[in-house]
Structure 1
Amino acid sequence: MKIQGKMFMWLSVFLLIMAILYGLWAKEPIGITTLFMAFGLAIMVGFYLGFTARRVDPGAQDDKEADVADGAGELGFFSPHSWQPLGLAIGWALGFLGVAVGWWLLYFSVPIILLSVFGWVFEYYRGENRTQ
């Protein structure tokens, strides 16, 4: 993870330089704002990856002498299935439709969104997946 953090930090430096040069040269507010926001996002991801790299064991990508086979094996836990994203997508689709059609549709979309988020967060705290 250390190398990914460094890559995002270098990307953020590049985006900051480009934002400043673009601001001086083009004087166009939308592009300047977009580049500064991209700089902010890149530095957030780079900081997160660098911070996380200090807390976890180094991976195969951090070793300069590693082979491709050194990266094989289990990488973490990934949810095999979940119906909650579908409910969340339906809720947000109704919400955006409510902005276009009528605000009354939000009365139906907000409970669907809240139930889907709640179900997704607490998905592994109930039923057969519950741990003691």
Structure 2
Amino acid sequence: MKIQGQLFIWLSVFILVVAIVYGYWSMEPAGTTALFLAFGLAIMIGFYLAFTAKRVDVGAQDNKEADVADDAGEVGFFSPHSWQPLALGLGGALAFLGVAVGWWIMYFSAPVILVGLFGWVFEYYRGENRTQ
């Protein structure tokens, strides 16, 4: 995690230099603002990773002598049969269509998003997996 923090801090320094040069040469406020905001995001992520790296054990990515197998292990649990991301994707697509075409489409996208969200959150609280 230490190397990722350093990468983001160096990336933020680069973005800051680019933002200053771009702002001076172009005199264009939108792009300059976007670059300064990107600098802020990169520096926040870099300092978070650097701060967190001091509190956790050294990972395999920080050990120069580590093998790929040293970082193996369980990543997490991913549902193998969930249809809820499809509902969220369709609801999100309808919501963005509502921004482009007309806000009235949000009345149709909001229920689809809510059904997908609640279905995904409470997916394992029904049927045989329900707790008593």
Same fold (TM over 0.5): yes
Partner of 2:68 in structure 1?
Answer: 68
Would the alpha carbon gap of residues 47 and 27 (structure 1) be closer, same or farther in structure 2, given more than 3 Å must change?
A: same
Q: Secondary structure at the match of 1:85?
A: helix
Would the alpha carbon gap of residues 5 and 111 (structure 1) be closer, same or farther in structure 2, given more than 3 Å must change?
A: same
Partner of 2:120 in structure 1?
Answer: 120
Partner of 1:91 in structure 2?
Answer: 91
Query: What is the TM-score when the length of structure 1 is the normalising length?
Result: 0.78
Partner of 1:16 in structure 2?
Answer: 16
Distance 2:38 2:56 in 1: 27
Q: Secondary structure at the match of 1:74?
A: coil
Deviation at 1:64, TM superposition (A): 2.3
Gaps of 5+ in 2: none
Instruction: Please list the CA deviations of residues 47-102 of structure 1 after superposition, one character each: whole Å capped at 9, or x if unmatched.
Output: 3323443443321111123233323x214204143322211111122222233444
Instruction: Please list the CA deviations of residues 27-47 of structure 1 after superposition, one character each: whole Å capped at 9, or x if unmatched.
Output: 122221221122122123223
Identity %: 68
Would the alpha carbon gap of residues 91 and 79 (structure 1) be closer, same or farther in structure 2, given more than 3 Å must change?
A: same
Deviation at 1:130, TM superposition (A): 6.3
Query: What is the TM-score when the length of structure 2 is the normalising length?
Result: 0.78
The residue correspondences of 1:7-86 to structure 2 (distance < 5 A) are 7-71=7-71, 73-81=72-80, 82-86=82-86
Distance 1:84 1:47 in 2: 35
Gaps of 5+ in 1: none
Amino acid of the residue matched to residue 75 of structure 2?
Answer: G
Distance 1:49 1:129 in 2: 37
Amino acid of the residue matched to residue 56 of structure 1?
Answer: V
User: Alignment length, in residue pairs?
Assistant: 130
Partner of 2:111 in structure 1?
Answer: 111
